[in-house]
Amino acid sequence: MSPVAEFFTYVAVGAAAQLIDGSLGMAYGVTSAGMLLSLGMPPAMASASVHYAETFTSGASGISHLIAGNVRWKLFFMLVIPGVIGAVIGARLLTHLPVHWVRVLLTPYLLLIGLFLLLRTSRADEFQTNVPRDTAPLGLVAGFLDAVGGGGWSALTVTTLVARKMEPRRVIGSVHLAKCVVSAAASATFLLSIGAGKPIVMLGLIVGGVVAAPFGALLARRMPPRIATLLAGLTVLALGINNAISLMR
C-alpha cells in the first residue's frame, strides 16, 4: 500500500470511529483500535496510536459539543480531575500489568448496562438535574481502565450516567470534553513510557476524527433522547458481546 493510500485508510478509520463516538458518546477507542488490529497492526502500536490521536479528536469533539450547548460544567469538572489521576496511574502500570483481566471485568458490566439501557427506552423521558455523588469515583475508575485496557472511558461514564437518568446529550458533551484532558494526560504518560507511535497512523486518525467531530456533535443535539439511549444500549451490548467472544477464543 502506498503512503497516500495508507494515510487515507487511517483517515477513514478515524472519521468512522469519531462519528460513532461523537453521536453516541462512546466507542472511539474500541472502534478505531479494532479497525487498526484488523489491518494487521500490532496491539501495542494500535493502543498507543489511538490514545495519541484521541487527544486531538476528543478535543475537537469536546469543543463541538461545547458550541452546541451539550456541556455541563459541574459534571465536566467532577469527571476530569479524578479521570486524569486514574489515567496517569493506569498508563504507568500498563507495561507491568496484563490487560486480559480488564476485559474479563468489563464484559459483564457492559452486557448488564446495555440491557438496562434497552429496557429504559420504554419509559418516559424524565431526567434528573443533580450530578450523582459518585461521579468522581466513576471518573477515577474509568480513567484507569481506559489507560490500562485501551478504551472504556466513554463506555463506563456515559452508560452509567445515562442509566442514572441524566440527559444523554449533556452527558455525551461533558464526557467528551473531559475525555480530551484525560487522553492528553494518558498520552503524555505513554510517551514517556513506550515512546511515540507511527506518525502516519496518528495523523490519519486525527484528520479523520477532526473532520467528523462537528457532525457527531450535531447528531447528538438533534437526536431524540430515547433514540440516543436505544443506540447507546445497543452499542454497549455489542461491545460486551464482542468482548465475551474474544474471551472464549
Predicted local distance difference test score (pLDDT) of residue 122: 55
pTM beyond cutoff 0.75 = no
Predicted local distance difference test score (pLDDT) of residue 84: 96
pLDDT tens for the 249 residues of the chain, in order:
788 899 999 999 988 887 777 666 667 777 787 778 778 777 667 777 887 888 887 787 788 889 988 999 999 999 999 999 999 998 888 767 666 676 676 678 778 877 876 776 555 555 667 888 889 999 999 999 888 766 778 878 988 888 888 888 889 889 989 988 998 998 888 888 777 667 888 899 889 888 887 887 777 677 776 776 677 678 778 877 877 887 787
In one-letter notation, the amino acid at residue 99 is V
What lies within 8 Å, CB to CB, of 210 at 6+ separation is 18, 56, 57, 60
Predicted local distance difference test score (pLDDT) of residue 111: 82
Of 103, 88, 102, 68, give the one whose Cα is nearest residue 176.
68
Is the CB of residue 159 less than 8 Å from the CB of residue 89?
Answer: no
Cell of 81: 480531575
Predicted local distance difference test score (pLDDT) of residue 11: 93
Of 148, 35, 46, 33, give the one whose Cα is nearest residue 88.
148
The pLDDT tens digits of the residues spanning 75-84 come to 999 999 999 9
Is the CB of residue 181 less than 8 Å from the CB of residue 71?
Answer: no
Distance, CA of 14 to CA of 220 (rounded, Å) = 18
Distance, CA of 170 to CA of 162 (rounded, Å) = 10
Is the CB of residue 222 less than 8 Å from the CB of residue 30?
Answer: no
Predicted local distance difference test score (pLDDT) of residue 244: 82
Predicted local distance difference test score (pLDDT) of residue 100: 67
Predicted local distance difference test score (pLDDT) of residue 103: 65
Predicted local distance difference test score (pLDDT) of residue 150: 67
